[in-house]
Structure formats: structure tokens, C-alpha cells
Amino acid sequence: MFYREAGQYKTSYEADQATFPVLQDRIGMIVILAVAFVVVPLTMSSFVINSVLIPFLIFSLAAIGLNLLLGYAGQLSLGTGAFMGVGAYACYKLTTIFPDANIILLIIVSGFASAAIGTVFGLPSLRIKGFYLMVGTLAAQFFLSWCFIRIPWLYNNNVSGAIEVPTRAVFGIPVSGPNATPVTRYLIVLTIVVVMTWIASNLVRGRIGRMWMAVRDMDIAAELIGIRLPRTKLLAFAVSSFYCGVAGAMMVFLWLGAAEPDAFNINRSFLILFMIIIGGLGSLIGSFIGAAFIWGLPIMLKSVPETFGISIGSATLEHLQFMVVGALIIFFLIVEPHGLARLWQIAKQKLRVWPFPY
């Protein structure tokens, strides 16, 4: 009744091809953005912002990065964690070399370093695919993790082997480091994520995105209709690593404040992969839903026994949490193999015909 595009006439191609052609979607988007930009910083406690919302946004961005590669271009990669690490370490080195530069600019620039490394490790994709390619990208993961530990130059010869974020201010407001308030960091992360999501959504429905999807669906056929495979695949690796690199740099500079090499290990790659599988392959909204699910689930599970007044030891709780997460992953794969994004689509379709199903 409320969600219906009847009567919304389009008089130009631009209007027809807009990101949100339906009026209600546009209104909904504006409401969501208004809540995210205005209501959340005013009402939420800094704990919620710092430990729930900021990581959710950062992981969403990394998930979008992997989704571009796996969901759109069809290249299975497990190097996400390492590419995030490249972004983080590149940003750290850049801010060491240029201490006066704008840190937000450096975070974006460090994405390019990650993109370069990602392109190099994408080279095997020209020869191999599927699970073989996955193992190839694991080489990137383990090699880069090893580099983060063994090359002291990367962490400025710090004895602890970790990188610590210095305080950097933009226009006199501290943005990173211990003095930055969660709200400032949240707003910067939110802005970067919104802008990059908007770019991604235009990328995937344009020429490049269609090339990627053609390669994903059948690479030989794509080659026959004139798509250059090496270029397309490497571009997918570069763009994906760029997104992951920016996410990694934000993770260290705007969320954690310090990071050890362990923060970018294989488990991080798997976590991001979970997010897009659960959320939905080849769907940007799925990346957000998946990130919310995977990041929010353990937090929610932690609070369940407390609300029922049952006291369980923290170790037992953690083990149970593992079991529940594992079981839920299997459950969702069985119920909806196309991810939670498909459920969202179905709900929208139902809403469109409601209350008269015919």
C-alpha cells in the first residue's frame, strides 16, 4: 500500500536509471542516512559507537571489497585480511613520512598501495580458478602476514612489533590516536563508507561491473564477446584490494588505535568471507547485512544468558558461542543459500503487492 511505484512516471533515461528509481526507496535512504549522521551521534553512547557501529561499518566496507571480487567478478580469494593489513601498514608508513598530511587523505591513498599488491597477487587468476585460485590467494595471505612480522621497517622497528597510531588532527580536530572522540571517528568512517558504497554501486551497474559479471558467469563466453580477461580480472583484484586496504587503514587508525600483525591473519579473511556468503554474493546491501549479522551475533549471544538471568562461565559461553555461530551458518545456508539479501528482496516484493496479493 505504501511501497508501490504505480504512478511514478519517468520522463527521461536519467530518471529511469537512477540508483533508487522508486520514490519510497529514496525516502528510505534519506531517513537511514539522516539517522546515521544525526540521530546516532546524538543519542548513542560512545561504547556502542566504538565497539559496535564503527567496526560494523569498517567490516561492511571490507565485505563490499571482497564482494566486488567474489560476488561480481567470481574470483575466489582468501587474501582479504592481508590486503587490509597492507592498507593499514601503508597508512602507518605514510603518516610517519608525511606527519603533516591530512590523515583522511592518507587513508585513501594507502588504498592504492593495497591495490598494487592485490594486483600482483591477482596474477595467478589469469591461469587458475576456483579452489585452486583460493589456495593461490592463501599464498598472499601467509606471505604478507609473514612480512608484517619479519620486516621491521614496516612497524618503524618498534620493539613490540605492533603499530601504534599517532595523534593526527584535521582542521584542529583530533581524528586518530587516543585523543580522538568516538563520535568524530564514527562520522569520518561513516562518510568514507557511504561515499565508497555509492561509488561501488555505480561501478557494478556500469560497463566495468557488467564485464565482471560476464567473466563470473562464463569466462570463455566473455572472452568471445570481446572482454579482455586479464585486464578485467586484474582490475577486479585491484578495486577489491583498494576497498579492503581502505577498510584496513580505517580499522587501525579510526577504530583499534594500535594493531599487531595478528589482526590481519587468516581468520580475518574468513570472517569477511562469512559476511558476504551469509549476506549474499553479488549484493552490496548483502555486504552490510552480512557484516551486521556476523559482527552483531556474538555480541547478542553474549547478552542472551544475562537477560535470562543464567550465569555461565565465560569459557563455556565462548564455546557455546562457537557452536551456535557454526550451527547458524549452516542453518542460513540451508534456508537461504543466496544470502540474507535475497530475503530482503523477497520482503520488498511482498510489500509491493500487500495487501492485495493478486
Partner 1 sequence: MNILYRVFIDPFMQMGQAPDLLVQTLWEGLVAGVLYALIALGFVLIFKASGVFNFAQGIMVVFAALTLVGLHALLRKWGVSSGMVAAYLALAITIVVMFALAWCIERAILRPLVNQPDIILFMATFGLTYFLVGLGELVFGGEPKSMITEDLGLPRGAIEIKMLGGFVSLQKIDIAAAVIASVMVTSLALFFQKTRIGRALRAVADSHKAALSVGISLEQVWVVVWFAAGIVALTTGIMWGARSSVSFALEIVAFKALPVLVLGGLTSIPGAIVGGLIIGIGEKLGEFYWGPLLGSGIEAWFAYLIALIFLLVRPQGLFGERIIERI
Q: By CB under 8 A, name the binding residues for partner 1.
A: 76, 124, 127-128, 130-132, 135-136, 138-139, 142-143, 145-146, 149-150, 218, 220-221, 224, 266, 270, 273-274, 277, 281, 315-316, 318-330, 333-334, 337
Q: With respect to partner 1, which residue has the nearer C-beta, 150 or 350?
A: 150
Q: Report the alpha-carbon distance of residue 48 to residue 46 in Å, rounded.
A: 5
Q: With respect to partner 1, which residue has the nearer C-beta, 181 or 321?
A: 321
Cis peptide before 261 (omega within 30 of 0): no
Distance of closest approach, residue 278 Cβ to partner 1, in angstroms: 8
Q: Report the alpha-carbon distance of residue 165 to residue 223 in Å, rounded.
A: 46
Q: Which long-range contacts (CB under 8 A, 24 or more apart) does 329-335 make?
A: 329/274, 329/278, 332/278, 333/277, 333/278
Q: Report the alpha-carbon distance of residue 21 to residue 25 in Å, rounded.
A: 8
Distance of closest approach, residue 323 Cβ to partner 1, in angstroms: 3
Q: With respect to partner 1, which residue has the nearer C-beta, 45 or 127?
A: 127
42: cell is 546524538
Q: With respect to partner 1, which residue has the nearer C-beta, 33 or 312?
A: 312
Q: With respect to partner 1, which residue has the nearer C-beta, 1 or 220?
A: 220
Distance of closest approach, residue 141 Cβ to partner 1, in angstroms: 8
Distance of closest approach, residue 280 Cβ to partner 1, in angstroms: 12
Distance of closest approach, residue 149 Cβ to partner 1, in angstroms: 7
Cβ pair 245, 86 in contact under 8 A = yes
Distance of closest approach, residue 344 Cβ to partner 1, in angstroms: 18
Q: With respect to partner 1, which residue has the nearer C-beta, 82 or 235?
A: 82
